[in-house]
A and B are shown apart, each in its own frame.
Chain A
Amino acid sequence: DAGITQSPRHKVTETGTPVTLRCHQTENHRYMYWYRQDPGHGLRLIHYSYGVKDTDKGEVSDGYSVSRSKTEDFLLTLESATSSQTSVYFCAISDPDKNTEAFFGQGTRLTVV
Chain B
Amino acid sequence: GQNIDQPTEMTATEGAIVQINCTYQTSGFNGLFWYQQHAGEAPTFLSYNVLDGLEEKGRFSSFLSRSKGYSYLLLKELQMKDSASYLCAIKAAGNKLTFGGGTRVLVKP
> Residues on A close to B: CB < 8 A?
31, 33, 35, 40-45, 48, 50, 56, 58-59, 90, 92, 94, 96, 100-107
Report whether B45 and A103 are in contact in the complex, using a CB–CB cutoff of 8 Å: yes
Kindly list chain B residues whose C-beta atoms are within 8 Å of the C-beta of A103.
Answer: 45
Report whether A50 and B95 are in contact in the complex, using a CB–CB cutoff of 8 Å: yes
Whether A101 contacts B33 in the complex (CB less than 8 A), given A41-B101, A106-B42, comes out as: yes
Can you add 13 more A-B contacts, CB < 8 Å, to A42-B101, A45-B98? A42-B100, A43-B87, A43-B89, A45-B97, A48-B96, A50-B94, A58-B98, A90-B42, A90-B43, A96-B95, A100-B31, A100-B33, A102-B45
Whole-angstrom distance between the alpha carbons of A103 and B42 in the complex? 9
Please, which residue of chain B has its CB at the minimum distance from the CB of A102?
B97
Please, which residue of chain B has its CB at the minimum distance from the CB of A105?
B42
Min CB distance B73 to A, Å, is 15
